[in-house]
Amino acid sequence: MIITNPKDEKSIREAARISVEILEQLKEHIRIGNTPMNIDYEAGFLCKKYKVQPAFKRVEGYNYNTCISVNDVAVHGIPKDIPLKKGDLVSIDFGIIYKDIYTDHCWTWSIGEPDKHTKKLLHSGRKAVENALLQAIVGNKTGDLGFEMQKEAKRNGFNTLSIFVGHGIGKTLHDEPEIPAYGEPNTGKLLADGMVICVECQVVDDIDDIVIDEDGWSAKTVNGKDSVMFEYMVIVRKEKPEILTDTFAWDTVI
C-alpha cells in the first residue's frame, strides 16, 4: 500500500496504535504455566473489546488470532495447549483489521533472565530489524534492508531465514514489495514515498533452513535450536521512516 490521502494515513495510524496496545496487553499473559492457546483466546477477546478483527484468521486455512512461536519454532507457530516454562522464548506475531486496514507486527520475549548466549540472540534479532527499518527511505531498495538484517545476524554468529520475507501491507495483509532478510545494497525493489511495509526477520541459532511441524504450520529450526522474530510496520519517507508500530522502548525479558 502507498498512502495517497489523509484518510488512509489516519486509518493506518489508528490501526497500528490499537494493534500495539493489544500486543502489549498480551505480553502480560506470557508467564510460567500459562499456555499459548490461552494467550490466543485473550487475543480474540481483546479484538472484540476494541471492535477489530484478527487479521490472521483471513489467511486461508488458519484458524487462530495469533501466531505464537516458542523456542525452536521460528514463525507461524500454532498456539498450543502446552504450559510455558522458565527460559522459554516466546514470539507473538499479531495483526488486526480496522476500517479495512491490516496490521502485522511481532516481538519476542524471554521468560526470565536469559543466559548470555540467548541474550545475544535476542539482541541480534531485534537489532537486525531495527537497523534495517532505518533504511526504509525514498530511493533505497529492498536489498538495502535485507543486507542490514543479514549483516547483523552474521556478525553475531547467527543466520536469518531466507525463505520468509517482510512485505508491503495496508489494504491486504501481504502486499508488494517483498523484503527478504538478506540482500546486497542497491538491489531489489525501489522504495517509494508513502509505501507502508513490514520489516521483519527470523534470526536463528541454526542453519538457514526450516522443517514444518506436523501441525502443518509451525516452521521449526532444523536442529532444534532457538529462534527469535521481530517485526515493525513503517511508512517509507524521504529523510527517515515513520514507525507505525513503535515498540522501540519494549524489553525482551519478562
Quick: pLDDT tens for 124-136: 999 999 999 999 9
In terms of Cβ atoms closer than 10 Å to its own Cβ (0-12, 13-18, 19+), residue 214 is exposed
> What are the boundaries of each domain within the chain?
6-243
- What is the per-residue pLDDT across 136-180, written as a single tens digit (0 to 9) for each? 999 999 999 999 999 999 999 999 999 999 999 999 999 999 999
- What is the per-residue pLDDT across 177-213, written as a single tens digit (0 to 9) for each? 999 999 999 999 999 999 999 999 999 999 999 999 9
User: How far apart are the C-alpha atoms of 57 and 207, rounded to whole Å?
Assistant: 30
User: How far apart are the C-alpha atoms of 198 and 145, rounded to whole Å?
Assistant: 11
Residues 6 or more apart whose CB falls under 8 angstroms from that of 217 comprise 62, 67, 76, 77, 78
User: How far apart are the C-alpha atoms of 12 and 169, rounded to whole Å?
Assistant: 10
User: How far apart are the C-alpha atoms of 68 and 78, rounded to whole Å?
Assistant: 6
Arch. (CATH architecture) of 6-243: Alpha-Beta Complex (3.90)
Do the beta carbons of residue 197 and residue 179 sit within 8 Å? yes
